[in-house]
Each structure stands twice: as C-alpha cells, then as structure tokens.
Amino acid sequence: MGKKDASSIENRVYLFESLASSYVAAASEALGSDDPEERERARRVLAELAFVSCVVADTGDLSPEEVRDRLVSAPRPPRPASPPPPPGRKRDK
C-alpha cells in the first residue's frame, strides 16, 4: 500500500470518528430506541457520515465545489424492505 493510500485511509477514519462522535452524542436516544425504524434511520445517518468521510478524504485534490458536487450527485442506496413481523404476532384481519 502506498503512502497516499495509507494517508487517505487515516483521513477517512479521522473524519468519520469526528463526525460520528458528534452525531452519536446528539442521537444516542435514537440509536438505542425500542423502535426498529428509528434505530434504522439513525444507522443510516451513520452510514451517510461514513460515505461523506470517504468522499472528502479521497478528493483532496478537488475544489470544495467539486467535492460537494460528488456528494450531491451520488446515487442513494436502496432502502431495505420492512422487516417481517415478529413470530407469534397475529395480524389484524
């Protein structure tokens, strides 16, 4: 692994750690919620922060506008299907 690759990985980790720690402090209730949909939304935000960290760390040679354009134009990942109801739970008819 070349020096540029190692520094890019370090930058990814540093940026994500910084962004995620702020988010986790603000959204700790959502991350520990009993509501699976609320927890899923909070995890998706962490995933987006990881993505942003990678893009920013890997585009140090671009202008801020070009980095923004890459982030804004990135395709959104598909949303997972709703989880099935827990076993033993009866459906309303």
Q: What is the pTM of this model?
A: 0.70
> Quick check: 34 and 22 in contact, CB under 8 A?
no
Among 78, 38, 71, residue whose Cα is nearest residue 55: 71
Model pLDDT for residues 3-49, shown as the tens digit of each residue: 457 787 888 999 999 999 999 999 999 999 999 999 999 999 999 99
Residues with Cβ within 8 Å of 50's Cβ and at least 6 positions away in sequence, in order, are: 16, 20
Residues with Cβ within 8 Å of 32's Cβ and at least 6 positions away in sequence, in order, are: 39
| Structural domain spans, the chain | 3-73
